[in-house]
Structure 1
Amino acid sequence: MVRITSAKLIKKKRSVFYRISAWLHLWLGLISGIVVVIVSLTGAALTFEEEWRYLFQPYQHAESQGRSFLPPSVLADSVKKAYHLPGVSAVMYRGKDRSAVVPWYRDRANLLVNYVDPYTGKALYSQRLNDDFFRIMIVGHYELWLPRKIGKPIVAYSTLIFVITLITGMVLWWPKKWTKRSRNQSFLIRFKASFKRLNYDLHNVLGFYSLVVALVLALTGIVYGMEWFNNAVYWTASGGKKAEFTRVMSDTTLTPLNDQVEEDLLYARLQKTQVNLEDEHATIGYPRGESGTWTLTVNPKPGTRYLETTQQFEQHSLKLLQADIPYARANGGEQAMRINYDLHVGSIGGITTKIIAFLVCMISASLPITGLIIWLGKKKKAKEKAVS
């Protein structure tokens, strides 16, 4: 008798948990649906950004023909002269047979991206960043093309809601009994079935297969959208430590080095290291203002960011002020922050994980749509039943 009562109690609790999950899945999905669709589609568009640029933008290319890279001052002067600019913000070397990028940043609305041949110094192309297709996609992905203070939290909390719908969806997907029929319904899409059944399978089955990757993409996105979540991830991964940020500034009382170009000195210093500029990416960032610093960023694994390191130097003396700890020696929180971008965009494992990320983005965009169709069908059926 006790066993029967306990079994009924467990069954009742499961039923209540299922109904709560169904309610949350429905209404949270309806609330966040349009945002999830936009964020997923823009994310899919951004997945192969570098590949599309290299394929369709001829100014991304430069032929070495056995020549070496020119120093950054030459590339900067070429861009300033060609496009009548008062200055540049950085010189970015992107490897063999790739053009260098020399941006000019005046303010958020006026950022020019300039491409130059690193072997000849010839200016190749200039574009306002805000006119670039992929920049438009990034703004939509991050803040829905709304003012940042409005759009950013909408995207972040809609993504958090999406995480909850994924988890509740798993609860709804889980078969009550594992039979051959339930396995077929849970794991297979019946393409020859009716539209109603096909739509249900596309929502149910694809949602299951994409669950883990969709959670990774969503959670790593929330890291960028919510400061408290970012801090929580860092604290957890580092074993209870808080992220520390130290801003370094140049000594405004110093004077420039005599007859020497600071960026070229940094470039010469870079050449003396084990960095291979034909295989690695390197960026020399110019100081902003009298107290700004030079930055030297090296990425030994282009296409990802987690191994990227940055050094900051005093503006005039070029004294090293601050340097990143190598990834392997950083604490767990720092490692989590550095690898977060590569997990979010799917670049962590090269083209294979990018393809997976793209497919999951497309599936994620479809889930609110197929879910809405399921809900409208049930609503219509309930209405017809009430009339009859």
Structure 2
Amino acid sequence: MSISRWSRWIRQPQTVPLRRMIYQIHLWLGLVLGLYVMVISVSGSAVVFRRELTRWFLPKEGLQNVEYPLTLIVLEWFVDLHDNLLAGNIGRDLNGIGAILFLIMVLTGAFVWWPGVRQWKQSLFVCHSQHRLFSWHLHSVIGFWSLLFLLGWSVTGIYFIFPGPFEWFFDVFDKDLSDFKRPGEGLLLVLVDLHFGRFGGLGIRTLWVIFGLLPTVLFITGVRIWWKRVQIKWCKSWDT
């Protein structure tokens, strides 16, 4: 991007052709991946309290004589849905591809979010606006405040399915392969804990449940934005 285009993107990003192209990528990825995102979003929130519920319903001793509770059966179904899309290894690989595409969608969304240097502060909150623009503002605000969560979940989701590239990357910086210690192993473990919200108590897990549902809200508002644009085009075509 040249200096003049960069300056235009800083001040008036809507006039930059690259932004329009990235917007189209973000839009169609969102529409194509929408149902997948909803499935991962809802199932992920459903299993946040998996450990606590398992301890609650299953005693520590005598498991062989205990009937597996229906609640845990449903919970494990959500786990399989979240991890493997109920399709075994094939579903797991598809889940990894979905995580990669989701990461691209998040990054393009972050690029499209930038409203210009004069308006970026107003884009941090949902202000009183025209009804037809409410979905756009809500989508933008939720996307901004959940950006780090979405990036973290997508990257760790890719790592869970395709760990090889991550391990190779950290091995590059490992000068002694005989000590069985990777320089980035601690970081990966932190990312895993962040993915599941395992680093805090009840408050953190509750927050993870709420934020885990935000991708579903983003999909719904994104569809509303797209549908309004379709309606506008139809109205213009009828007028002509």
TM, length-normalised to structure 1 = 0.53
Residue 132 of structure 1 aligns to a residue whose secondary structure is helix
The 1:365/1:12 distance shift into structure 2, 3 A limit, reads closer
CA distance in 2, matches of 1:236, 1:341: 17
Shift of 1:339: 3.7
Find the partner of 1:152 among 84, 88, 92. Answer: 92
Residue 116 of structure 2 aligns to a residue whose secondary structure is coil
The 1:336/1:129 distance shift into structure 2, 3 A limit, reads farther
- Residue 365 of structure 1 pairs with residue 219 of structure 2: no
Structure 1 unmatched runs, 5+: 61-98, 103-113, 116-122, 245-323
- Residue 235 of structure 1 pairs with residue 168 of structure 2: yes
- Residue 32 of structure 1 pairs with residue 17 of structure 2: no
RMSD: 3.2
Amino acid at match of 2:126: I
TM, length-normalised to structure 2 = 0.82
- Residue 183 of structure 1 pairs with residue 109 of structure 2: no
Aligned partners of 1:129 and 1:135 also within 8 Å: no
CA displacement, residues 6-47 of structure 1 (integer Å, 9 cap, x when unaligned): 636864896132112101101111111110110010000111
Residue 199 of structure 2 aligns to a residue whose secondary structure is coil
Amino acid at match of 2:88: R
CA distance in 2, matches of 1:143, 1:6: 45
CA distance in 1, matches of 2:105, 2:219: 10
Aligned partners of 2:174 and 2:182 also within 8 Å: no
Task: Determine which structure has the larger strand proportion and give its number.
Answer: 1
Q: Which residue of structure 2 aligns with residue 22 of structure 1? A: 23
Aligned partners of 1:144 and 1:151 also within 8 Å: yes
The 1:6/1:371 distance shift into structure 2, 3 A limit, reads closer
CA distance in 1, matches of 2:106, 2:61: 40
210-219 or 6-15: bigger deviation: 6-15
The 1:134/1:101 distance shift into structure 2, 3 A limit, reads farther
Shift of 1:50: 3.0
Q: Which residue of structure 2 aligns with residue 200 of structure 1? A: 136
The 1:210/1:8 distance shift into structure 2, 3 A limit, reads closer
Q: How does 1:202-221 map to 2 (within 5 A)?
A: 202-221=138-157
Q: How many residues align?
A: 232
CA distance in 2, matches of 1:236, 1:357: 29
Find the partner of 1:7 among 1, 4, 7. Answer: 4
The 1:360/1:383 distance shift into structure 2, 3 A limit, reads same
Aligned partners of 1:234 and 1:241 also within 8 Å: no
Residue 68 of structure 2 aligns to a residue whose secondary structure is strand
Shift of 1:341: 2.8
Aligned partners of 1:36 and 1:159 also within 8 Å: no
The 1:371/1:339 distance shift into structure 2, 3 A limit, reads same
CA distance in 1, matches of 2:3, 2:186: 47
Amino acid at match of 1:134: L
CA distance in 2, matches of 1:208, 1:9: 21
CA distance in 2, matches of 1:8, 1:335: 41
Identical positions, percent: 24
Bigger Rg, structure 1 or 2? 1
Shift of 1:195: 4.7
Amino acid at match of 1:213: F
Amino acid at match of 2:221: T
Q: Which residue of structure 1 aligns with residue 234 of structure 2? A: 383
- Taking CA–CA contacts closer than 8 Å with sequence separation of 6 or more, which of the two structures ends up with the larger relative contact order? 2
Q: How does 1:304-383 map to 2 (within 5 A)?
A: 330-383=181-234
Structure 2 unmatched runs, 5+: none
Shift of 1:169: 0.9
Task: Determine which structure has the larger helix proportion and give its number.
Answer: 2
Amino acid at match of 1:232: P
